[in-house]
Amino acid sequence: MSEASDASLAAAARTRLYRDGVLALEGFPAEDISEHLATPGSVVWLDLCAPTAADFSMINAELGLHELAIEDALHERQRPKLDRYPHHLFISAYTAGLNAAAGGLEASEIAVFVTGHALITVRKDAGFDIGKVTARWDASPDLAGHGIGFLLYGLLDVIVDGHFATVQRLDDSIEELQDLLFSEDRKQIHAVQRGTFEVRRDLVVLRRIVLPMREVVNSLMRRDLNVVSEPMAPYYQDVYDHVLRVTEWTESLRDLVTTILETNITIQGNRMNLIMKKVTSWAAIIAVPTAITGFYGQNLPYPGFGRESGFIFSTAVIVALSTLLYLTFKRKDWL
């Protein structure tokens, strides 16, 4: 590998070495992975952010990763999944978060290679804060003795917690839309319509992210994969329970958003019916003087023709009938 490629990989890589369940070293060169793995009881973590194909050539030489897994790690928009290869596992997953400034849900893709003694995380961009994962590991040093199972658990726990926080914020947004649903303010009505479609769009994206994670976590707990040891099983079960809760929560919110959309359409229809009733009622009231004045405008003699009493009589009829119609419509709540 060229010196420039070595330098770029070193700048983008983060490393950790656990030996006999204790954090022994951080920030060592990625080229030293095979040397450290030669020592019994060693577990290595390597993190790469937006690596190139050249960066993977050295990693492949160190760990012998499958070419199809490397191809999936390099290309974006992979489906969340767990692939099993002869010497390692490959996991594709997404973190999720709501960006208040940009508006909408933001997802960051992460690829994970799992071997017997090494965990390699490949972030497609810098959207995922890997520092949260290392902080989660440091918060549970007593579990570090379980090796790869412990490291992978910390990573999945942070990812799923992010999903949980995102669906919680979407739930809060939906509650705000429900509060505005019956507002008479025109601006609020438009806010409900716009906000509902935005939340629905975010839920569709989130569902694509969280739904396959059930199968990923469930498959990891299979005994034949030898990833989750008996002491770590309850922790993975806890992650799986969180995945199920997020999935069910997302589905329920999608149903709730659909209900809000239907309710909003019904409310708008009712408001339109009320407006039509008012317009029709006023048209009926206006039709009375129009009909009477039109009748008295004929070029034919009629009672009171050419006399002041005829004008007074016609005016009295207009006022009486218009008042009667107004009171009738008001009593029927048409005005």
Number of separate domains in the chain: 2
For residue 7, which of 74, 52, 61, 66 has the smallest C-alpha distance?
52
For residues 83 and 145, state if they share a domain: yes
Average pLDDT in the chain: 85
Task: Please say if the pLDDT value at position 308 is more than 80.
Answer: no
For residues 68 and 120, state if they share a domain: yes
Calpha distance 220→250 (Å, rounded):
23
For residues 174 and 98, state if they share a domain: yes
For residues 258 and 288, state if they share a domain: no
- Give the pLDDT band (50/70/90) at residue 3: very low
**Centroid of chain to Cα 145:** 35
Which pLDDT does position 161 carry in this prediction?
Answer: 94
Q: What is the pTM of this model?
A: 0.78
Q: Which domain holds residue 294?
A: 271-331
The first and second tokens of residue 152, run together, are 């992978």
Which pLDDT does position 50 carry in this prediction?
Answer: 84
Percentage of residues of the chain with pLDDT beyond 90: 41
Q: Which of 249, 267, 285 is the last residue of a domain?
A: 267
Task: Please say if the pLDDT value at position 162 is more than 70.
Answer: yes
Q: What is the pLDDT of residues 104-117, one digit of tens each?
A: 889 999 999 999 89
For residues 221 and 155, state if they share a domain: yes
- Give the pLDDT band (50/70/90) at residue 184: confident
Q: What is the amino acid identity at position 185?
A: D
Calpha distance 93→79 (Å, rounded):
7
Task: Please say if the pLDDT value at position 89 is more than 50.
Answer: yes
The residue-averaged pLDDT of 178-201 equals 81
Buried b / exposed e along 62-80 (16+ C-beta atoms within 10 A)? bbebbeebbebbbeeebeb
Q: Compute how many other C-beta atoms are within 10 angstroms of the C-beta atom of residue 94.
A: 25
The first and second tokens of residue 255, run together, are 């149903």
Which pLDDT does position 274 carry in this prediction?
Answer: 79
Which pLDDT does position 298 carry in this prediction?
Answer: 58
The first and second tokens of residue 70, run together, are 């490397």
Q: Compute how many other C-beta atoms are within 10 angstroms of the C-beta atom of residue 262.
A: 10
Task: Please say if the pLDDT value at position 188 is more than 90.
Answer: no
Task: Please say if the pLDDT value at position 80 is more than 80.
Answer: yes
For residues 62 and 194, state if they share a domain: yes
Which pLDDT does position 284 carry in this prediction?
Answer: 81
Task: Please say if the pLDDT value at position 266 is more than 90.
Answer: no
For residues 61 and 101, state if they share a domain: yes
Between residues 14 and 60, the one the model is more confident about: 14
Q: Which of 38-47, 158-167, 265-274 has the lowest mean pLDDT?
A: 265-274
Q: Which of 24-28, 67-71, 139-143, 318-322 has the lowest mean pLDDT?
A: 318-322
The first and second tokens of residue 43, run together, are 């577990």
Give Cα separations from 325 to 115, 275, 288 (angstroms). Answer: 85, 17, 9
For residue 159, which of 228, 107, 94 has the smallest C-alpha distance?
94
Q: What is the pLDDT of residues 268-287, one digit of tens each?
A: 787 788 778 787 888 888 88
At residue 119, φ and ψ (nearest 5 deg) are -125, 120
> Which class for 312: exposed (0-12), middle (13-18), buried (19 or more C-beta within 10 A)?
exposed
Task: Please say if the pLDDT value at position 318 is more than 90.
Answer: no
Q: Compute how many other C-beta atoms are within 10 angstroms of the C-beta atom of residue 213.
A: 26
The residue-averaged pLDDT of 130-138 equals 94
189-203, 234-248, 304-318, range with greatest mean pLDDT? 234-248
Calpha distance 319→62 (Å, rounded):
98
Question: For residue 83, what is the domain's CATH number?
Answer: 3.30.460.20
